[in-house]
Structure 1
């Protein structure tokens, strides 16, 4: 198949391309062609202008582009940057898909479990009582734009992704320095739930969705067993053989990060019901094994 991917230099995109390259023709849409080739090799085709592509010749579009949501304090300017980095490219892709005479049969577009907002109970794709906050607004509009590509000829799949655990970057890489210095521990009371997914299962799930033509709409990409922040912290500390007795007070976190601190202070227990019902098998279902796999190599 001919596959176009955005976000191909990001954490998930790089790992996904390793597998796609084995069986498909992959084109990466990127702002930095040299970076795309450096990270993904010259087997891919890299372009910086969608006008260079004929969408009639594409079978699949995978849209993973977007400014990291938790890298900087949420000033109004940063919020707009986060939004536009998702909305603009998604709208461009949708417009090109809709204009094609023979459009791609599959459009897989990123989203996040932030769609649900903070929740006090377990939720899955059927949940519609979402908490109104920035993460929900962001994901809902992002998904609404992507859904414009839905037609009899193009299915749209929305990847509501949890915390992706990898030894090459992302959230885990940011947590490790403090834990290695024996300064790690739970955030606030630690009871807030964390919905996570191992990078290998993340990539496998996208490939599974790609090959299951009947799947469409929102799909949760989270391991079946979310854990509390306290449990995650204890397990991470044990895995790297460090203590776990420091607690980050909520007031300090809010002082440092403002509204963005809500991502860490309020949890979600998100279940991957659609994937499980479709027969997808997670290789890393439990946090203890997942962290051992990533950190004890």
Structure 2
């Protein structure tokens, strides 16, 4: 296959590109800087998802088998000022719309567009188990996810199969939310967050890559797909599992008010309960190598 990837410098995009290249597929990476020659055999092409004009020409995507859109400002990278919330929204919505419009302009459109989203779509779910049939939440991230997913509509109009991947927490020591939690846990500062009863939905990085490749190949799947394991766990249980794996204490909780003082509005997402399960992945025959948090963590810290 020839796969075009935006966000290939990120945790998920980089791992997906490496997996595809290792199996002999062609990969084009969309970059904002001047394209460079890469030793791994992939090709770079320039794009600018914030441009008011054409962000990426249809010629870059024409004839490709698949496009994977994973670009977007990091949700937890900075405190949520009004300006950064705008960047979180626009980097996702504009980038997705740019790819979708380019797909619509292709003479030979890609057969599949896998476009990122997040379980933030569902908002607070409490103790309720939610699959892809669940409705949207009412908070900021839920609104972003709704706009993000709708931005792919132009690709649907071109006849391209569109899959919107609603990512949970990707378990990896190399980056993402878990990559930021593991260092303080190694220092013995890995206590539960808030009351610890909130559910977190997660997936290992290897299973994330396997699931993305499954979606590229499985013609019967379109629409939203939850990228989580079937076994969401409470923050209390996740904290305990991290402590056990790292042989570190987890006895010092971080109160919710302290998180809000440090992180601002983003803390609400950490304290929110989302008990999300992967109905469509399971129905399409996907199997997890790391179905539990302990297994996912083992893949990250071994």
Task: Tell whether the structures are fold-level matches, with TM greater than 0.5.
Answer: yes
Q: How much does 1:94 deviate? A: 1.0
Please tell me whether the aligned partners of residues 107 and 154 of structure 1 are also in contact (alpha carbons under 8 angstroms): yes
* 1:239 paired to 2:228: no
Superposed CA deviations along residues 28-84 of structure 1, whole A, max 9, x for unmatched, are 0012356893xxx34000011323834332221110101111111111000011111
Report the TM-score when normalising by structure 2: 0.93
Mapped pair 1:11 → 2:34:
no
45-54 or 244-253, larger mean C-alpha shift:
45-54
- Structure 1: distance between partners of 2:37 and 2:190: 34
How far does the alpha carbon of each residue in 1:211-254 deviate from its partner, in whole angstroms, 9 at most, with x for none? Answer: 10111000000011010000000000110000110111111111
For 1:58, which of 57, 60, 64 is the aligned residue? 64
Specify every segment of 5 or more residues in structure 2 that has no aligned partner in the other structure, as ranges.
48-55
SS in 2 for 1:53: helix
Instruction: Measure, in 1, the Cα distance between the counterparts of 2:295 and 2:95.
Output: 36
Corresponding residue of 1:163: 169
Q: How does 1:88-107 map to 2 (within 5 A)?
A: 88-107=94-113
How much does 1:95 deviate?
Answer: 1.0
Describe the SS at the equivalent of 1:243: coil
After superposition, give the CA deviation of every residue in 1:143-191 in whole Å (9 maximum; x if it has no partner): 0011331147311000000000112111222112221221211011100
Are 2:129 and 1:127 aligned? no
Counterpart in the other structure of 1:218: 224
Q: Give 2:149's match in structure 1, choosing from 122, 143, 152.
A: 143
Q: 1:18 to 1:42 in 2, by over 3 A?
A: closer
Q: Deviations over 1:106-134 (max 9, x none)?
A: 11100000000111111000112x32000
Q: Can you give the 5+ residue segments of structure 1 that lack an aligned partner in the other structure?
A: none
SS of equivalent residue, structure 1 residue 148: helix
User: 1:30 maps to which residue?
Assistant: 31
CA contact (8 A) 1:30 1:36 kept: no
Counterpart pick for 1:108 among 107, 114, 124 = 114
- Indicate the residue corresponding to 1:43 in structure 2: 41
Residues 35 and 231 from structure 1, CA distance in 2 versus in 1: closer, same or farther, beyond 3 angstroms?
farther
Residue 118 of structure 1 corresponds to 124
RMSD of equivalent CA atoms: 1.6
Aligned residue-pair number: 292
The 5-angstrom pairing of residues 174-213 of structure 1 reads 174-213=180-219
CA deviation after TM superposition for structure 1 residue 93, in Å: 0.9
**Correspondence for 2:287:** 281
Q: Secondary structure at the match of 2:77?
A: coil
